[in-house]
Amino acid sequence: MFGNDKQKATSRIDSLIGLETHITGNMSFSGGLRVDGEITGDVTAVEDKQSTLVVSEKARIKGTVRVAHLVLNGVIEGPIYATHYLELQAKCRVQGDVHYHTLEMHPGAVVSGQLIHMAGAPSGKPVLETKSE
C-alpha cells in the first residue's frame, strides 16, 4: 500500500505503555509502539525506520507527536505530524493542528485545530502545501 518506502507501516508491536503507566519526558521509538497509558512529553519516531504508533481509547498524550503512521482512538493534546498515514478513529480527540499526508477519519472523531495536508512525497519532515494563484 505504501510502496517500497523505508518508512512503511509495521503491524508488529515492539513496545507497550500500559494502562496504569504515566511517563513524563520526551521519547523516541522505532517499530511499533502501543500506548494505553499517559505520556506527558513529545513522542517521535526515529526517521528512516519502520514505525507505527497506536494510541488506544483510554490513552492520552500531552505533547507533539511525530510519526510515519498513527492510529489514534485516544486523546492527543498537541500538534500531530503524520508523514505517511493517519487514522483518526471514532473515539479520538485531538487538541492541536494535524499535519498529514494521507488521512482516514471515522465518524465521531474530533479535531480542535487545523487539518493541514503535507504536499509532495512522504518524508520525515513536514512540508506545507502552498496554493499558487
Q: Residue 12 and residue 1: Cα distance in Å, rounded?
A: 16
Q: Contact at 8 Å (CB) between 76 and 57?
A: no
Nearest CA to 64 among 87, 41, 46?
A: 41
- The structural domains of the chain, with segments of one domain joined by +, span 15-109
Distance of CA 8 to the CA centre of its chain: 14
How does residue 102 score in pLDDT terms, banded at 50, 70 and 90?
Answer: very high
pLDDT one-digit tens code per residue, 44-67: 999 877 899 999 999 999 999 999
Q: Residue 25 and residue 32: Cα distance in Å, rounded?
A: 19
Q: What pLDDT shows up at residue 122?
A: 52
C-alpha cell read off for 128? 506545507
